[in-house]
Structure 1
Amino acid sequence: MLTQREDVLKVFQEYSVDGQKLSQSNLEDFLREEQLEGDDIQLHAKQLIECYEPSDKAKRMNAMTFDGFLMYLGSAEGSIFNPQQRGIFQDMTQPLCHYFISSSHNTYLMEDQLRGQSSVEGYIRALNRGCRCVEVDCWDGANGEPIVYHGHTFTSKILFKDVVSAVGNYAFKVSQYPVILSIENHCSVEQQRVMAHHLNHILGDRLLKTILDGKAPIRLPSPEDLKGKILVKAKKDGGLEQSLSGMVEDSLNGEVSDDDEAAEIDEDHPHHESIHCRLKVVSYFICPLCFSQKSKQRLSKELSDCVVYCKSVHFTSFKHSRIHSKFYEVASFTESKARKHLRDAGAEFVHHNSRQLSRVYPSGFRTDSSNFNPQEMWNAGCQIVALNFQTAGEGMDVNDGLFSQNGCCGYVLKPSFMREADVRFDPEMPQKRDHYHPVVLTVQVISGQQLPKVNIKEDSIVDPLVRVEVHGVPMDQAKQETRYIENNGFNPMWYDTLHFTIHTPELAMVRFVVEDYDKTSKNDFVGQYTLPLSCMQTKPRPLGSETKHLYVYV
């Protein structure tokens, strides 16, 4: 019963002459007509028979039985994800700003950002998922030791040196490409010096302390250049030029805090008094709006010297950045500010991100550590789109989908029209770019198998439906659903066909969601799978071309 697959048998019999086996010629027809393969099909068919056919007798006949066909379709070769894009296949020698970088927000938190637990486990888990930029919120602690926690809340506290040790131990377990420590610095000069000591002493040669070639650079180094290195992103006195000449003085006045979420909230919600009171009473924590006034603190030279290519700066305007900004300066945006810039000047935002790094982080009002959808920020070319890795949901699904390619190394090369300085790409109007080629994606949802029960009620059986979502530029955002199959999680079959027109396929993500239909309440989530459109086994066809099938499993 477990191995009976009427859906696969139907496909098998369409190409089998006798209904019992596929000859090598039959299999070649299937690969050519359905799987859209075109390179040395004869050799590939022979290899598939040799690899997946369990019957020695069939192998001697150069044939594939139904069991072999089933094993082939269920193998890695039958996956919707193109195996050629599983490993590192992209150019890794371009400047850091030309890549999307897997990034975490409030990495130390295991739960919500009001009363949740802080733990070095958050860093270990994020780094083991390929994350390449982690956040460290630093505050003065007892006995002269800096601590990490979500300031002015009841989240627990951990030692900064323990965080640095965890990063040092796990930074390069999954990927050899550089890790960025995004430091939110609220410490006194004395404890900043302790931070710098821990960074240098614990990380040693892995900490990038100087520019790579000893000469004044003109652009950011590449992930390949920075293999095995840990970079600090934080405030810095002066720039690379002054650092090379040794002109920076010790402990100058400056704003040491990188991201001031409270100030961002205050600007986005000028009439915040009632919100402020409600947060204070309901959540039982000290409202961050009480601390929205930036304090002038001194920045220690020792910690400033740990910052090389990622100097945190305040963003003024795109015009100001175009004239005055340096390539090694990084601006941070709350999600609402990033959306506003994207709305008002999308093409300028993309152009800005072709020259230097930008970081986007969730709103301070997301006290439950929920996430926004990172796709809208990638549409602007923002590289460091920081998410709460501890919170499952659509945001992390899309993030995991994008970074599942290129060896899961945490770096994905942006499309060429987002990297070239002389190109203006507006995500709101993708049809105006050069080489605009929309495509049609046709998905036939055939069947499912052994879907789990999600309702705790006894004798409950799922009524599954499949929703296919496209995440991309605004014109590409779309969702379509199959009908639901009543009381069948064992082997539901839909044979429903969905069509999508995609205007910027280079940025599009495809998400498959299975839900348990309920007519009286919200559907229950069963499972999902997300991948970049560019990594699907078949290449989308231009508008107006003939539609073909591709039998893959998700």
Structure 2
Amino acid sequence: MNKINHCGVNSLVYGQLLQVKLHKMKRTQMILLLSPNEVRLIQMLDPQGTFSTYFDLTQISDIQQKEESQLKIINSKGAYIKLYFQSAFQLITFREGLDYLIKEANRIQKQLDSYNQIWSSALKLITQSDIDMDNKLNFKEFQFLIGELQIEIPERKLIQVFEKNQKNNQLDEATLYKLLMDITRRHELKELYQKYSSKQEGMFEDPLQAMLMTDKDLQQFYKIEQGQADYQPKRKLYNFYDFQNIIFNDENSIFQPKPLDQSQPITKYLINSSHNTYLERNQLTGESSCFAYQDAFKMGFKCVELDCWDGENGEPKVTHGHTLVNDIKFKDVIITVRDFAFYKDDNPAILSLEMHCCLKQQKRIAEILQSILGDMLFVIKDYKQEKMSTLQQLQRKVLVKYKADDQFLQEKLQLHSSTLFFAQSHDDMQYKSQEFDDHKHQANIKQFSQTLDEHHTKICRELLEITSLYAVTLKLDKKPELVWIVSSVSEDKIQDIIKKSHGKFFEYVENYFVRIYPLGLRFDSSNYDPFPSWSAGAQMVALNIQTKDLFMLQNYGMFLNSSYVLKSNQDVKMNIYVRIISATNLVWEEEKRRQEEIVDPYIKIRVAGNHDDVNKSEKWRTEVVQDNGFHPIFNYQCSIQLRHAQQDVIYFQAYSYSILGDSLLGQYCLSPLNLRTGYRIVPLLNSHFKPLANCYVLVQIKIEY
């Protein structure tokens, strides 16, 4: 570690006074220092000592630098802290020290999780509960700890537990450890553990403590129950808590990654696509930001939209025109593309340019794309290709979508026809097929010809040369002369196309791109059901990613394995048997509510996708467990029959029941093709699709094909 890193680390170890703005609080002065009791926590104290809080280094999901003097630290729950520095040097020094401590905290956390998951989680809670910082908990602090664990224990009973175990009206760490181990024992695993434990050792009050699993026992468990014959244990002996930690570990997730066939032309894939990507909120008054593009790429989106407008000083900008949305520089967006487009995987990124710029600024856009992206920028070498390049050939490439120009494409194809292409002038375009009568057909041709005349002078030759997807109107009655094209269709019109010309549309999307986008009337940036378009074969079904609704959750599940999903015409039939056994750490997302209310949880399972599977499926849910979010036991079973599993997703949702309306606690979604059999955990996400710490649903999965 170099000198400046030492300075940064020391500033946090010994404390640094900074201007701080906590989430939903006013800006104030705070002392930031590494917790003396827990090296994975940064403590924040006001100079008067009247206020103290923590942020967990292992729960930091993002650090954003704004200007040269501000850092924004965001945790997995979406809460943030803003830090203000006097100079860029001070910021850099602090940032490098913080980065080092985060790396160390995650290393320590990983070691502890593999050794004793329960105690590593409890240590953080004890540190937070230890208000007077004496390494012991009095009754009030113990009560706070139990509340944070979302365990409903009557105060009278809690007093009895405390009195039985206290020394000098305090609970020391050793006593707390024993209490928490008893409280956090997963009794639902007892029979399973006993079934595979072959070794007896010593005499204990608790029979479980006398039983041990050998490495051979664990291998048998994985082979028989988990369907994994190649599992290699890391130790010779395992006690019950070791086995419990193996089950409740992220490596035992219900999600099974699958390799992706990259040998097909990219028109054969569904692509994770976004609409109005620059927006952080709604499209009338929301903010636009490069951070929105960062988030999109980090979530695995590969088709992003840039609404390009003339900016000041000859520099084009990205914004939502004729609204209160702010502007961001086009150049800054492309820098973000360069730095983050391949954050999740190396599959190609597509920049969908909605062009409103004058010719001069379009030329500037071409310059920016070439200078910043360089070799990343894919340029067509053979315009006469009969099929698109394969996914493998386009790894780590950026494709630009821009409106087509007849004259330019005829030149490239060495053709002389004047009616091969109808350039797309705006998103909400028409389509034509043989099912239109002659009158409408002629009217459409006239309309598109007028559009070409009006916009022809605005077409930029420099930008056309680096375009790899040319936007044209959708024509189902004639095979296009060029494969490097894309047609955009609104969500309402695609339904009409599928209904009237399903067969022709399905054939068309085998070789040519179609992009679906939300209606402009969705001012709140709400989403639409993507499955009808996916089922019809449309490759780019663009959703508003700033809105984390149910349709976005389904999109998350569809592309969880990869940002590109290979379309399959072969039906996959599955019978899935699910037993929802229990859950862990179901809590309110809001901090204040978490301290005031205990949840009454239940779990739902749903299928989304092919209408046959959805219509035939029932609505499955467990019973409500009263006053226990920490460790509710459900033992609920259901059977899910799918006939088109390749077109479906399965999603889990945890709710808290209320007569005034149920509240979402956590959620998760994945393709049935990625399900793992056996005893698995479902790692729940919050409303922002961020992982919830130690929040799982324990299930048993069996599959018949």
> What letter matches 1:520 in structure 2?
L
Q: How does 1:88-107 map to 2 (within 5 A)?
A: 89-107=259-277
The structure that has the greater radius of gyration is: 2
| Offset of residue 195 of structure 1 | 1.9
1:140-539 equivalences in 2 (<5 Å): 140-211=310-381, 214=382, 216-238=384-406, 242-244=410-412, 257-260=425-428, 296-297=454-455, 298=457, 299-308=459-468, 310-316=469-475, 318=476, 320-321=477-478, 323-324=479-480, 326-406=482-562, 410-415=563-568, 417=569, 438-454=573-589, 456-457=592-593, 459-477=596-614, 478=617, 479-521=619-661, 523-538=662-677
Code of the residue aligned with 2:358 in structure 1: it is S
Secondary structure at the counterpart of residue 462 of structure 2: helix
Given residue 413 of structure 1, which amino acid in structure 2 is its aligned partner? L
Query: Take 2:668 and 2:577, find their aligned partners in 1: how far apart are those partners?
Result: 17
Deviation digits for residues 365-415 of structure 1, max 9, x if unmatched?
211112223333221222111122222122222222222214xxx222222
Letter paired with 2:605: V
TM-score normalised by L of structure 1: 0.77
The partner residue of 1:124 within 287, 290, 294 is 294
CA–CA distance in 2 between the matches of 1:233 and 1:6?
56
SS of the residue 1:195 aligns to: helix
Change (3 A) 1:354 1:476: same
Distance 1:305 1:352 in 2: 25
CA RMSD of aligned residues (A): 2.8
Task: Determine which of 209, 219, 239 is the counterpart of 1:65.
Answer: 239
Task: Identify the structure with the greater strand proportion.
Answer: 2
Determine which of 57, 80, 89 is the counterpart of 2:254: 80
The answer to whether the 8 Å contact 1:113/1:155 transfers is yes
Q: 2:573, 2:643 within 8 Å by CA — same for their partners in 1?
A: yes
Equivalent position SS for 1:12: helix
Change in CA separation of 1:74 and 1:446 when aligned onto 2, cut-off 3 Å = same
Q: Which residue pairs with 2:11 in the alignment? A: none
1:487–1:180: structure 2 CA closer, same or farther, 3 Å change rule? Answer: same
Shift of 1:535: 0.7
* Local SS of the residue matching 2:306: strand
Look up the SS of the partner of 1:552 in the other structure: strand
Question: Any residues of structure 2 matched to 1:43-58 within 5 Å, and which?
Answer: 44=231, 47-48=232-233, 51=234, 53=235
Answer yes or no: is the 8 Å Cα contact 1:454–1:462 preserved in 2. Answer: no
Secondary structure (helix, strand or coil) at the match of 1:377 reads: helix
The Cα shift of 1:437 comes to 5.6
CA separation of 1:246/1:23 partners in 2, compared to 1, >3 Å: closer, same or farther?
A: same
What one-letter code is carried by the residue in structure 2 that aligns with 1:356? Y
Distance 1:78 1:199 in 2: 43
Seen in structure 2, the aligned counterparts of structure 1 residues 254 and 553 have a Cα distance that, compared at 3 Å, is: closer
Distance in 2, Cα, partners of 1:531 & 1:101: 16
Question: Is this contact kept in 1: 2:558–2:671, CA < 8 A?
Answer: yes
Give the residue type in structure 1 aligned to 2:642. Answer: I
Unaligned runs of 5+ in 2: 1-179, 201-207, 432-449, 683-705
After TM superposition, the structure 1 = structure 2 runs for residues 6-25 of structure 1, keeping only pairs within 5 Å, are 6-16=187-197, 20-23=211-214
TM-superposed deviation, 1:243: 5.0
- The CA distance in 2 between the partners of 1:219 and 1:239, in whole Å, is 22
Checking the alignment, whether the CA contact within 8 Å between 1:438 and 1:504 is kept in structure 2 is yes
Show structure 1 runs of 5+ residues with no match: 54-58, 265-292, 418-434, 539-549
| TM-score of the aligned structures, taking structure 2 as reference length | 0.61
What is the distance in 1 between the residues matched to 2:370 and 2:561? Answer: 33
Shift of 1:240: 8.4
**Aligned-pair distance for 1:346?**
3.7
SS in 2 for 1:497: strand
1:5 aligns to what? Answer: 186
Alpha-carbon distance change, 461 to 68 in structure 1, aligned in 2, over 3 angstroms: same
8 Å contact kept, 1:183–1:258: no
**8 A Cα contact 2:270 2:534, kept in partner:** yes
Any idea what the Cα deviations from partners look like across 1:105-125, whole Å, max 9, x if unmatched?
Answer: 111111100011111221122
In 2, Cα distance between the equivalents of 1:517 and 1:346? 42
* Aligned residue identity for 1:34: E
The 1:484/1:243 distance shift into structure 2, 3 A limit, reads farther
Q: 1:128 to 1:32 in 2, by over 3 A?
A: closer
- Residue by residue over 1:19-69, the C-alpha shift from the partner in whole angstroms, topping out at 9 and shown as x without a partner, is 5233556445533442234x45xxx3xx22xx2x5xxxxx2xxx5321221
User: 8 Å contact 1:454–1:524 — kept in the other structure?
Assistant: no
Cα 1:29–1:196 change in 2 (3 A) is closer
Which position in structure 2 is the counterpart of 1:425? none
Is the 1:471–1:509 Cα contact (8 Å) retained in structure 2?
yes
Q: CA deviation at 1:171?
A: 2.3
Asked which structure has the greater RCO (Cα within 8 Å, sep 6+), the reply is 1
Q: 1:125 to 1:10 in 2, by over 3 A?
A: same
Change (3 A) 1:344 1:515: farther
- Residues 194 and 454 of structure 1: CA distance in aligned 2, closer, same or farther (over 3 Å): closer
Following superposition, the deviation at residue 347 of structure 1 comes to 4.1
- Aligned to 2:471, the other structure's residue is in SS state strand
* Residue 446 (structure 1) shift: 0.5
User: 2 CA distance for matches of 1:412 and 1:400?
Assistant: 12
Identity %: 33
Counterpart contact for 1:236–1:307, Cα < 8 Å? no
User: How far apart are the structure 1 equivalents of 2:405 and 2:227?
Assistant: 57
1:498-527 deviation per Cα after TM superposition (whole angstroms, max 9, x unaligned): 222111012221111101111232x11111
Aligned to 2:680, the other structure's residue is in SS state coil
